[in-house]
Amino acid sequence: MSGPDFPGATVLSSDSRYAALCTGFNQRFSGTPAYVQVCGSPGQVVDAVQSAIRNGLRPTVRSGGHCYEGFVTDGAGAIIDLSPMNSVYQDLGMDGAFCVEAGCTLWDVYTQLYRQYGLTIPGGSCYSVGAGGHICGGGYGLLSRKFGLVVDYLCAIEVVCVSAQGNASLILASPSSPDPEIQALFWAHTGGGGGNFGVVTRYWFAPDLPQAPAVATLSSVAWNWSGFTFAQFSRLLQNFGAFFAEHSAPDDPYRDLFSLLHLTKNAAPQIVMVTQYVGNDLTLLDDFLAAISNGVGAHVPQAAPVGHHLLVAQQDGYRTMPWLEATQTLNGSGPNRRGKYKSAYMIQPFPDNQIAAIWNALTDPTFQNASALLQVDSYGCEVNARASSDTAVPQRSSIMKLQYQAYWNSAGDDASNLNWIRTFYQSVYADTGGEPISNSVTDGCFVNYCDTDLADWPSLYYKDNYARLLDVKTFWDPRNIFNHAQSIGS
């Protein structure tokens, strides 16, 4: 917490902080609320929600401000900002569980869990992301093949909910509650997504959190776009898909390896593959790179940053360093700019028609943004050790997770970037209505990569879990106080 003396702050439009506190990390999104209420304790959050209701204002909640859509800013009456609530501690009053306050950034979480306890959670690589939205959306990251999803370790939450009478109060929810409605409220926060049921003030993680790896080995290799042929490109995607189709069982030795293939728009100089390995046998990493390069052509060192990932290694070779340093090195938060994202889970390697559509979009001569790409993340292993209904994240059999991205700075470039990424996505999933529906190849979309273009978002994000989420919404937010363009039931 921000300290016992922080009384909270009400930021009005006349305040010099107002513009900054009303704008998302994604600069496409900016709101005009009556005020921003900056909170330093759960009690202040209860008061902030109650005040908003009393004043007839629609409350929205921001922790890290990294939402991919305008869910916090669009039409906000009062933004409740939790960012001063950023402590991590072992809570003896909760049987030794680790408390993460919702305003923490992921860097707050990683550094505090690591330095004080030697532990970690398998969360996202971009560490300015906020715990508040990330965790309840089912966060994942470079340790997820080894350790699963962040929500697989969640054991309790504290959330401000609003009753049918309009009264805000703190609810402590865990799976061991005798009340099935409280159990369901907890479950809904294991992947149901932010801004749906109330304001989470604190998360608790099981005392048996994973030990952070001692060291991590990083590799970044690239293939120059210049002269790269469709045959080489196809082989690269086939190799990547085939490798993770073979190596995504929970007990596979390659669970220690996580790789991000950055298929850049060809206005960038290179396609880049960044890999983290946290195991003890570097020959596995050698063999992985050989398998991916097989028939593609020799890779070269990475020459420039890609997507939201920095330049990881300029030399062709590995860098081994303490895990915390590697996490810092891989941080890809990047600058504040405008962006658009789309996602897809894959349970099989890329079919030929999808490879052709990806190639066509990335080599489209009419669009020249070097900061546009398709990022293909390895997935599976421990993530797939759970069943679809164990948590609210139903996708538990994927081998890859795709993130379509475009970044730019000027509002004048919105139309061309949005058009490119929408056309790209539509073309890849042309045979399934333009969306990666659950079938034998794809398995929907990731709610943390929310995308308001999606038509059938309830099925794409939640599959069969949506019905239970609707029940939780009806019970815990009967007045639909917490709502946005894709909130449960909207």
Residues engaged in binding ligand FAD (CB under 6 A): 24-25, 60-68, 71-72, 82, 102, 124-126, 129-130, 132-134, 136-137, 139-141, 194-195, 199-200, 308, 333, 448, 484
- To 5 degrees, how large is the angle CA 81–CA 83–CA 86? 145
H or E segment and range at residue 289: helix 282-293
* CB closest to ligand FAD, residue no: 194
Number of H helices, E strands in the chain: 13, 17
Nearer to ligand FAD (CB atom), residue 247 or residue 340: 340
- CA atoms in the 13 A half-sphere facing the CB of 400: 29
Q: Are 8 and 46 in contact (CB under 8 A)?
A: no
Nearer to ligand FAD (CB atom), residue 234 or residue 378: 378
Report d(CA 455, CA 103) in Å as an integer: 31
CB of residue 295 to ligand FAD, shortest distance in Å: 30
Report d(CA 212, CA 219) in Å as an integer: 19
**What six digits make up the tokens of 195?**
């801004």
Nearer to ligand FAD (CB atom), residue 326 or residue 355: 326
Max Cα distance, the chain (Å):
66
CB of residue 396 to ligand FAD, shortest distance in Å: 15
CB of residue 67 to ligand FAD, shortest distance in Å: 3
DSSP code, position 430:
G
Q: Is the dihedral of CA 438, 391, 107, 71 positive or negative?
A: positive
**What six digits make up the tokens of 468?**
């239970």
Nearer to ligand FAD (CB atom), residue 158 or residue 256: 158
CB of residue 149 to ligand FAD, shortest distance in Å: 8
In order, the DSSP letters of 118-175 are SB-----S-TTSBHHHHHHTT---TTHHHH--GGGGEEEEEEEEE-TTS-EEEEEE-T
Nearer to ligand FAD (CB atom), residue 228 or residue 462: 462
Nearer to ligand FAD (CB atom), residue 28 or residue 66: 66
CB of residue 84 to ligand FAD, shortest distance in Å: 12
CB of residue 14 to ligand FAD, shortest distance in Å: 24
CB of residue 123 to ligand FAD, shortest distance in Å: 7
Stated length of the chain = 490
Nearer to ligand FAD (CB atom), residue 135 or residue 355: 135
